Structure 1
Amino acid sequence: MLADRRILLIIGGGIAAYKSLDLIRRLRERGAAVTPVLTRAGGEFVTPLSVAALAGAKCHRDLFDLTDETEMGHIELSRAADLVVVAPATADLMAKMAAGLATDLASTLLMATDKRVLIAPAMNLRMWLHPATQRNVATLRGDGILFAGPGEGEMACGEFGPGRMAEPLEIVAAIEAAFGGGPLAGRHVVVTSGPTHEPIDPVRYIANRSSGAQGAALARGLRDLGAWVTFVTGPAAVPPPAGVEVVRVETADEMLRAVRAALPADALVCAAAVADWRVAKAGTAKIKKDRKGAVPALDLVENPDILAQVAQMAEGRPALVVGFAAETDDVVAHAEAKRRRKGCDWIVANDVRPATGIMGGSENAVTLITAEGREDWPRLSKDEVGRRLARRIAEALGAAG
């Protein structure tokens, strides 16, 4: 898939720059040509010689290289690539991209390119979670920038959390997805997955029995058809697939905000098992059991209805909005009523009674309900259900233009 593809790789300044050396090797193994650009800060972590040796090409560093600039080299570099990749993408580089600054070779290339851009963020978790960075992330997503990661894990600073750069093979998968060339190439699909956790106090929460397996399988199917997938996941047992943009959330409110931030999109698939209710005022300390056996009263309020809110948007509504209906009785009737009530285009209904083994299992048996009627699918692996649904989505979006 990457044979003869031209990748312009911008290496930012961070300890994760060492992973970019392996990324170059992995890309070249797959037949891609890599043109490296090393920022001044990136040069503090990896050397131009090592980058150039692995890439088999000159390592560009200076915007005002007289030899290159006699022919406007920065314009040529930015246009000659098939894809621009920034790995690691530091908070500083992302801020420059969001603000439209062009103060060095890397940021000037990013401003001058007419190609798609994929970034692999890497920074301290506090920097990643900072409101300014999250504003920049929202801006970049709105501009159509593709993301690979970040993941969660232990960092060089000793802290643990989100902000860790995606592994080289994960970035390769994201690059391959960007070049997918399938029926969903150039399409953006948002998928929600997993449960949500609604806190009661710091140690207890309300949740649903969802592993996130079906949402992850669907995201893989969409990715394999060439879609750019934003995968908004609650705390699921099944890890997210490689090659998609992962946004991790805990609560329904966080999931709604993440979905809205991911728009515009061609399609939204709400496969998450969102908790219907949350505690109106979660305790800030663990609720203690009364020695007299008194049961604490929990004042519950309704969570936001993500599916209905997006399906009923007056402006910016995705062309296709798909919901899931996990039911234990009168499955089709409840699902058909849900589709009408929510205003979505399709509902994927399934029977999740304990006897079916579907909730948390590896198989699923679904009924796809649309305005035109219903399709009863046989019991299949969740991977196959994901692939079938992805193909149906591709067909619908193709028909929509």
Structure 2
Amino acid sequence: MLPLQGKQIVLGVSGGIAAYKAAALTSKLTQAGAQVHVILTASAMQFVQPLTFQALSHQQVYTDMFQEPDPAVISHIQLADRADLVLIAPATANVIGKLANGIADDMLTTTVLATKAPVMLAPAMNVNMYGHPAVTANMQRLAEYGCRFVEPGEGLLACGWIGKGRLAEPEEIVEAVIRFFSEQQETHRDLAGKRVLVTAGPTREKIDPVRYITNHASGKMGYAIAEAARDRGADVVLISGPTSLPKPAGVEFVPVESVQEMYDAVMRHLPESDIVIKSAAVSDYRPKTVHAHKMKKGDGPLVLELEKAPDILQEVGRRKTDQYVVGFAAETQDVLVHAKSKLERKNLDMIVANDVLMEGAGMGSDTNIVTLLTREGEQAALEKMSKRDVADKLFDAILAKMAHRPLSDAL
């Protein structure tokens, strides 16, 4: 059986140069068994023509909300009701802004506002547009509404800039769609009834009102873990340091800044948790004195005295009762040696080790290359994959170990 057999997907194509990729996306979704109903915005038709999508989807293509070929129905309502998923690829800054603010002025936006189906967006735009505070805020709002995102790639853009903003490849988007539907099946809700506590991102330790100590953690791994747990039926608490990522929908989100704030939040939620995954990169040291006013530059060197910060993971390992506790070890040398030591010293059940100097495994990347180590001495190295796929593999491993099965049964 084809992976998307019988699924009704409304594909919205908005007006960016990446619209040409939507033709290949339509073909691949159709080949996977979906019925694809394409909506082209007026701007999209400056780049691609309806006939292309009609030929690839074998379905009527919609371009104008005032064209009603069937008097028995209202087209945008019929599409909204029919959809199992509304997918917008490419999603421009303009259409993202419209949807975030409830503007419905064409066939695509009226359909999205009328649907009760899940909505997935694959943004594509100039790197500076993608990073603009207004676009970031609009994506955050859509995430809070429950929309999902397929992150754009990095590289040379059509405008000549190099950076993040390139539409994900059609194969990646199809993979995300297939994964979405598989997660909706009850058989994949294997964390139902579990409460999962996740920490993510960096911490900031203030030096004075202007300066702080932090690290390069982006929060992507922790957010992927929280989303995977949510999609598998868990009640999720995500305690996050400062990041630029949209807050995941459907989780209890606890924003923090310092190590102490994260420590307090973790200890508050620990007793009610079944699984604890501490992927945050917290500061090991913090300034001994936080100055009330900005420190002024002098003629000589500046000495900053640091003190040890609270060790959150060690305290979790000390306090845990029945919780399954997973730590992360981001290392640059002797990775497995340091990871095994941390696993033992902090009384963990499992640790996820990675070499952050390895290409595709560093902080801020969309992929990761990790090795899972358990307290029973098992070890499993995973190939390079998306952080979301790593998160699902991690939960496969955790559930196997909680059921007293070997790691090899899950991976």
Q: TM-score, normalised by structure 2?
A: 0.63
The 1:199–1:163 alpha-carbon spacing in structure 2 relative to 1, beyond 3 Å, is farther
The answer to whether the 8 Å contact 1:218/1:389 transfers is no
The answer to whether the 8 Å contact 1:5/1:33 transfers is yes
- After superposition, the C-alpha distances for 1:195-253 in whole angstroms (9 at most, x for unaligned) are 789999xxxx9659x99998799689769x7579x9x9xxxxxxxxxxxxxxxxxxx85
Structure 2 SS opposite 1:102: coil
The match for 2:248 among 262, 286, 299 is 262
Q: Once the 2 structures are TM-superposed, how far is the Cα of residue 296 of structure 1 from its aligned partner?
A: 4.7
The answer to whether the 8 Å contact 2:15/2:46 transfers is yes
Supply the AA of the counterpart residue of 1:337: R
CA distance in 2, matches of 1:79, 1:207: 46
CA distance in 1, matches of 2:155, 2:233: 27
Where does 1:389-400 land on structure 2 (aligned, <5 Å)?
389=398
- After superposition, the C-alpha distances for 1:158-180 in whole angstroms (9 at most, x for unaligned) are 11222222111111111112201
Partner of 2:371: 363
Partner of 2:22: 20
The 1:386–1:102 alpha-carbon spacing in structure 2 relative to 1, beyond 3 Å, is same
Q: Once the 2 structures are TM-superposed, how far is the Cα of residue 297 of structure 1 from its aligned partner?
A: 2.5
Q: Once the 2 structures are TM-superposed, how far is the Cα of residue 183 of structure 1 from its aligned partner?
A: 2.6
Partner of 2:99: 97
Supply the AA of the counterpart residue of 1:136: N
Which segment drifts farther, 23-32 or 36-45?
23-32
Q: Once the 2 structures are TM-superposed, how far is the Cα of residue 275 of structure 1 from its aligned partner?
A: 3.4
Q: Once the 2 structures are TM-superposed, how far is the Cα of residue 11 of structure 1 from its aligned partner?
A: 0.3
Where does 1:224-303 land on structure 2 (aligned, <5 Å)?
253-255=241-243, 258=245, 261-262=247-248, 264-265=250-251, 269-277=277-285, 296-298=302-304
Structure 2 SS opposite 1:26: helix
Which structure has more RCO (C-alpha within 8 Å, separation ≥ 6)?
1
CA distance in 2, matches of 1:3, 1:169: 17
Residue 136 (structure 2) pairs with residue 131 (structure 1): no
CA distance in 2, matches of 1:118, 1:98: 13
The answer to whether the 8 Å contact 1:349/1:366 transfers is no
The answer to whether the 8 Å contact 1:16/1:122 transfers is yes
The match for 2:188 among 183, 191, 199 is 183
Percent of aligned pairs sharing the same letter: 32
The 1:264–1:104 alpha-carbon spacing in structure 2 relative to 1, beyond 3 Å, is same
- After superposition, the C-alpha distances for 1:296-335 in whole angstroms (9 at most, x for unaligned) are 52466999x9xx9xxxxxxxxxxxxxxx94x7xxxxxx54
Partner of 1:79: 81
CA distance in 2, matches of 1:173, 1:227: 21
CA distance in 2, matches of 1:363, 1:380: 5
The match for 1:115 among 114, 117, 132 is 117
Q: Once the 2 structures are TM-superposed, how far is the Cα of residue 357 of structure 1 from its aligned partner?
A: 5.9
The answer to whether the 8 Å contact 1:178/1:226 transfers is no
CA distance in 1, matches of 2:62, 2:224: 40
CA distance in 2, matches of 1:185, 1:7: 26
- After superposition, the C-alpha distances for 1:136-172 in whole angstroms (9 at most, x for unaligned) are 1111111101111123222111112222221111111
The answer to whether the 8 Å contact 2:92/2:124 transfers is yes
CA distance in 2, matches of 1:147, 1:189: 22
Structure 1 SS opposite 2:146: coil
Structure 2 SS opposite 1:97: helix
The 1:154–1:39 alpha-carbon spacing in structure 2 relative to 1, beyond 3 Å, is same
Q: Once the 2 structures are TM-superposed, how far is the Cα of residue 46 of structure 1 from its aligned partner?
A: 0.8
Residue 333 (structure 2) pairs with residue 347 (structure 1): no
Structure 1 SS opposite 2:139: helix
Supply the AA of the counterpart residue of 1:265: V
CA distance in 1, matches of 2:86, 2:171: 17
Which ranges in structure 1 are unaligned for 5 or more consecutive residues?
233-251, 282-286, 309-323, 328-333, 368-375, 395-401
Q: Once the 2 structures are TM-superposed, how far is the Cα of residue 119 of structure 1 from its aligned partner?
A: 0.7
Q: How many pairs are equivalent?
A: 322
The answer to whether the 8 Å contact 1:221/1:390 transfers is no
Q: Once the 2 structures are TM-superposed, how far is the Cα of residue 112 of structure 1 from its aligned partner?
A: 0.8
Supply the AA of the counterpart residue of 1:111: L
Partner of 2:260: none
Structure 2 SS opposite 1:262: coil
Residue 396 (structure 2) pairs with residue 387 (structure 1): yes
Which segment drifts farther, 385-394 or 16-25?
385-394
CA distance in 2, matches of 1:380, 1:78: 44
The match for 2:174 among 166, 172, 175 is 172
Partner of 1:319: none
The answer to whether the 8 Å contact 1:277/1:301 transfers is yes
Q: Once the 2 structures are TM-superposed, how far is the Cα of residue 96 of structure 1 from its aligned partner?
A: 1.3
Q: Once the 2 structures are TM-superposed, how far is the Cα of residue 71 of structure 1 from its aligned partner?
A: 1.7
Supply the AA of the counterpart residue of 2:251: A
The answer to whether the 8 Å contact 2:203/2:241 transfers is no
Which segment drifts farther, 345-354 or 68-77?
345-354
Supply the AA of the counterpart residue of 2:398: L
The answer to whether the 8 Å contact 2:227/2:248 transfers is no
The answer to whether the 8 Å contact 1:151/1:166 transfers is yes
Supply the AA of the counterpart residue of 2:167: M
